[in-house]
Chains A and B, each alone.
Chain A
Amino acid sequence: MRKLVLIVLVVFLSVSAFSTIKVGAILPMTGGVAAFGQMIWQGVQLANELFPQVLGQEIEIVLLDNNSDKVQAVNTTRRAIEQDKVVAIIGQVISSNTIAGGTVAEESGVAMVSPSSTNPLVTQDRKYVSRVCFSDPFQGVAAALLAFNNMGAKNVAVFVDVEQDYAVGFANFFKDTAIELGGTVFYEYYKSGDQDFTAQISDALSKNADAFFIPGYYQEIALIAIQARQLGFYDPIIAGDGAAVPETIEIGGAAVNGLYFTTHYDSGSPAVTDNAKLFVEAYTKKYGEAPGTFTALGFDTYLVIRDAIERAGSTDREAIAQAVRQTKDFPAVTGIITINESGDAIKSVAIVKIENGKFVYDTTINP
């Protein structure tokens, strides 16, 4: 009996291995930045429903949860490559996780395409790790232009999450441009998971900050905004793409009204490609609401990997990784994606404002 089960299992596994192409999706489905992972997963699933096949075979997505954690980021990458035998990986989401997991992808020669990691270290000196989003040197410029030129700030308090490569990098690029623009900047520090920011906010107020810039993630952005308003700070609050999830509004409430942030895409912006139209229509039909930024990025990452497999013409990991790097003028949802030799996509930054508890598209800043 046991033998029979084993034979059936082997036959089943080999059949399934031959009939599908496995692509890993390593996302933070739980933990501190779970909202990003859940949204990206929606986008990947939607893309998989609309474009389920490549090279005449079904694409099977293997979802692994990295728990928003650096150590799990490494473990899950290893598991995807060694155990699940994926041909390429969609992921990871926040920069610190992609930097950690990317080491394994690099060693094993498997393409890892991040939907949303913006820190420059993510792709630096890497041949197999790429991204479909802009990176922080440019996002920092855009955020500084927004703060100092559009909003007229002069002395900005920057709240830096010391645990996140994303926040530290983004803050420094913001600062560089701020100095060029003739403004002053000072840092207040915290770390992921902190809930009380009253001491930092009181310090920023005593230093006469006329705007807050929070290059962090949504939980902390919402809490800092609430406590800043409570402590009597009425000036502008600016954030980065870490604010682009509904949780920012749900937790922040009235305190985040008037918050501006830089992001990758807003469904309210004019659609640039057919895929963008298709995406908004399909999503709205399925969920009855407008799609979010990270959902669009998940959708795009799937399409870029599928396109690379198609151009590679095989399921060879090396060929796919090469093809990802040769992506050129791909009409995606969030813009036209060309992945350059360093593995980055050059894309424009959208500015979005929160108004009466809703994301409202403001402008686009082009590189």
Chain B
Amino acid sequence: MDPKTLLQNFVNGLSLGSLYALIAIGYTMVYGILRLINFAHGDIFMMAAYFTFFFVTLTQLPWYFAAIFAIASAAVLGFGVDRIAYKPIRKAPRISALITAIGVSFFLESLAVVIFSGIPRSFRTIFPQFLNEMIILGGHMEVKYGQEVILGGIRFPIISVVTLIVTAVAIVFLWWFIYKTKIGMAMRSVSVDIPTTSLMGVNVDRIIGMTFALGSALAGVGGILWAVRYPQVWPYMGFIPGMKAFVAAVFGGIGSVPGAVMGGLILGITEVMMVGLFPGAAGYRDAFAFFILIIILSVKPSGLLGKPELVKV
């Protein structure tokens, strides 16, 4: 790879990784508080993209209202999923909740196929076009096919910058929410000991429901930004991003928010670099991400920034 392509691929990776990072934050937060891997995260992500699409096309609302409604709907959906699917098995072993999460994921995908049909919808006209304009560093002007165009240069879309900013805002917000509010304090308490928290007069079910709502809202933000970058919405769009976010969260140390962001960025960059260095192996890029997961789990199971879990004796 020549230096220019290397740099461009680094930027490509950063742009993809910023989306992984944003999705991974919600994943890791829910795990950090509830010790549940919420496999339905990627499907809430998909639902939020559909909600935005339909809010805009059916009600003709401006895109920002639609996005807010969609994020709120994703939160309600997350809360509802917890009430219907996870609450009845709260006292069951953790593995039951994990299997239920996989079931919820399949259910949401199939539901989307039935309600929204399997045909991809174009997200292109939903959000303002300037978000997909490119920022070009360097390059030179040239006339091609009768048009003046810029050739070369290092390029990245405005939406990737927006994604990074949103991710930073989400981290600060989460820190404030978890460490500075009463609900956040209750969440931290739930993460340590549920029965004792309940004895302190905290409505544990409500707190867990709110954790899911918050995680789902973050998935919703990710879903919308993803659909802006890759402008099609379809029922299985959340599957691979959800899996990648899971890898990113484990990579960074599951439960750690800054770790998830680091994991997402590193995963995005390595994935793109791997395709750039070995173009012939591009078909294996997803396999590569899971290969990284296996390596991490065997070398450092607690991840980059994770704390080793104490086993109570």
Contact = CB atoms under 8 A, between A and B. Distances in A.
Contacts of A163: 283
A30 interface: yes
A223 B283 contact: no
Contact of A219 (B134, B232, B276): B232
Contacts of A124: none
A72 interface: no
A206 B232 contact: no
Interface string B129-163: 00010101001000011010111110101000000
Given A196-B16, A232-B139, A202 B276 contact: yes
A219 B275 CA distance: 20
B1 A234 contact: no
B144 A234 contact: yes
B240 interface: yes
Contacts of B234: 219
B184 interface: no
Nearest to B150: A232
Contacts of A193: 236, 240
A188 interface: yes
Contacts of A191: 283, 286
Interface in A175-208: 187-191, 193-196, 198-200, 202-203, 205-206
Contacts of B145: 234
Contacts of A316: none
Contacts of A222: 232
B118 A34 contact: yes
A356 interface: no
Nearest to B139: A232
Contact of A250 (B124, B139, B273): B124
A231 B157 CA distance: 9
Given A188-B282, A203-B5, A253-B124, A30 B117 contact: yes
B227 to A, nearest CB: 10
Contacts of B8: 202, 231
A226 B119 CA distance: 19
Interface string A1-41: 00000000000000000000000000011111011001000
A120 B107 CA distance: 37
A230 B157 contact: yes
Contacts of B285: 194
A68 B117 CA distance: 13
Nearest to B114: A30
B152 A189 contact: no
A26 to B, nearest CB: 15
A251 B5 contact: no
Contacts of B118: 28-31, 34, 67-68
Nearest to A29: B118
Given A206-B5, A226-B231, A230-B155, A189 B279 contact: yes
B2 interface: yes
A251 B155 contact: no
B120 A232 contact: no
Contacts of B136: 232
Interface string B221-263: 0000000001110111100100000000000000000000000
B275 A200 contact: yes
A203 B236 CA distance: 28
A202 B6 CA distance: 9
A247 B240 contact: no
Most buried by A among B1, B117, B231: B231
Contacts of A290: none
B107 to A, nearest CB: 15
A272 interface: no
A202 B144 CA distance: 19
Nearest to B268: A196
Given A219-B232, A226-B231, A199 B155 contact: no
Contacts of B12: 196, 198-199, 202
B279 A250 contact: no
Interface string A51-71: 000000000000000011000
B283 A230 contact: no
Contacts of A187: 279-280
Contact of B119 (A203, A223, A230, A247): A247
Contacts of B273: 199
Nearest to A198: B12
Given A189-B279, A199-B9, A230 B120 contact: no
A189 B283 contact: yes
A278 interface: no
B104 interface: no
Contacts of A247: 119-120, 122
Given A202-B8, A232-B151, A196 B230 contact: yes
Given A163-B283, A231-B155, A251 B232 contact: yes
A213 to B, nearest CB: 16
B25 interface: no
A161 to B, nearest CB: 8
Contact of B113 (A30, A38, A189): A30
A247 B12 CA distance: 26
A158 B119 CA distance: 26
A189 B230 CA distance: 18
Interface of B: 1-2, 4-5, 8-9, 12-13, 15-16, 113, 117-122, 124-125, 132, 134, 136, 139, 144-145, 147, 149-153, 155, 157, 230-232, 234-237, 240, 271-273, 275-276, 279-283, 285-286
Given A34-B117, A231-B155, 17 more contacts: A28-B118, A31-B118, A34-B118, A34-B120, A35-B119, A189-B283, A194-B285, A196-B272, A198-B9, A198-B16, A199-B13, A203-B276, A206-B1, A234-B147, A247-B119, A251-B124, A253-B124
11 contacts: A31-B118, A32-B236, A187-B280, A189-B280, A195-B230, A198-B9, A203-B1, A206-B5, A219-B234, A231-B134, A232-B139
- In order of increasing CB-CB distance, the 8 nearest A-B pairs are A30-B118, A199-B275, A34-B118, A198-B12, A162-B283, A250-B122, A189-B282, A206-B5
